[in-house]
Amino acid sequence: MIAVDALEKTYGGFAAVVDSTFSVEEGEVFGIVGPNGAGKTTTLKVLAGLIEPTSGEARVAGYDSTDPAMRHHLGFLPEESPLYEEMTATSYLRFFADLYEVPRPVADERIERALDRLELDHRDRRLGDVSKGMKRKVAIARSLVNDPDVLVYDEPASGLDPVTTNSVLEFTRELRAAGKTVVFSAHNLYHVESVCDRVVIMNEGRIVARGTVEEIRERHGETTYHVYTDVPPAPASGGTEADADAVGDAEEVGDRYRTVVPSMDAVERVRGAASAAGGTVVDIRTREPSLEDVFLDLVGRPMPGRRGGGEAEGAE
């Protein structure tokens, strides 16, 4: 449904997207993640026909992305959703349906259905007077008035409260179930992990990883083992240097001590060190790498707006 080949976009001397190639199948939810300035939004705007590529090609629903005919098959949600605030939700959506030449009865039916599903109240209130979440929902409804095959969403849940965020993510899953192809970018990697079938990670305009979340995890992430002991593990006298490295960074967690190691061999060394210290292993947990771990590993810096690199206990 979407084919991007050797896409490049430069602004003067600045390369926003470099040699980007990927494809998206019909009915797939495809995620693009990356730090600020990675080229996500530029890529999405090329797909939406808003920006002409400097070189390369992007095809959407069988059309070149610069072909105006492509826009009949596309719904686009920009990162921000400033609306015409003097209009009501209904009149605003009708206006856009008119531009897509959707017959009025069909448009009204689609608008009603979208607004019902998105639980949008106050449909006849001026858009300047409704909440940010409401505005986002109206913007999402706008992307559907032409019943497009492809939806390009830039940060669809950005700045929304958790309830609205979940509603938007659930709605995205429903779009997939309805056979729509969805491409979206997100800062929040949990959103990507929970919704996307496949993902590309971009950094400084380039794609640095691609595949399903599992594939990326396997390819770029490491499984770690969290070994909990009742005493600080200490290497036995006469132990090897590897034994010393394995137990060197034990962390006190409540009344226990946690040692993170990369392999089962290291787990056994921690076990030996705990025995040598007069204690024992009380728990061992296996932790699969999250997309965020992989992301941090690949781009070498924390995600914007998130606390830097620390492991969240609840993620285990």
Residues near another protein (CB under 8 A) are 11, 45, 48-52, 54-55, 66, 68-69, 71-72, 74, 76, 78, 80, 82-84, 86-87, 95-96, 98-101, 139, 142
| Minimum gap (Å) between residue 86 Cβ and another protein | 5
The residue with tokens 């009603």 is: 112
Q: Under the phi-then-psi rule, with left for phi > 0, alpha for psi from -120 to 50, and beta for the rest, what region is 22?
A: beta
Listed in sequence order, the residues at least 6 apart from 226 whose beta carbon sits closer than 8 Å to its beta carbon are: 258, 259, 260, 283, 284, 285, 286, 287, 316
CA distance 274 to 264: 15
CA distance 96 to 145: 7
| Minimum gap (Å) between residue 116 Cβ and another protein | 22
| Minimum gap (Å) between residue 131 Cβ and another protein | 17
| Minimum gap (Å) between residue 185 Cβ and another protein | 16
DSSP 265: H
**Structural contact between residues 30 and 216, judged by C-beta atoms closer than 8 angstroms:** no
| Minimum gap (Å) between residue 117 Cβ and another protein | 20
Q: Which is nearer to another protein, 98 or 129 (CB)?
A: 98
| Minimum gap (Å) between residue 152 Cβ and another protein | 9
Q: Which is nearer to another protein, 24 or 277 (CB)?
A: 24
Q: From the CB of residue 171, how many other CB atoms can be counted at a distance below 10 Å?
A: 16
Sheet holding 63-64, edge to edge: 14-24, 2-11, 55-60, 63-64
Q: Which is nearer to another protein, 46 or 189 (CB)?
A: 46
**Structural contact between residues 211 and 199, judged by C-beta atoms closer than 8 angstroms:** yes
Q: Which is nearer to another protein, 51 or 291 (CB)?
A: 51
DSSP 195: H
Q: Which is nearer to another protein, 141 or 200 (CB)?
A: 141
Q: Which is nearer to another protein, 95 or 225 (CB)?
A: 95
Q: Which is nearer to another protein, 74 or 216 (CB)?
A: 74
The CA distances from residue 199 to 29, 59, 208, in Å, are 9, 18, 11
CA distance 22 to 112: 35
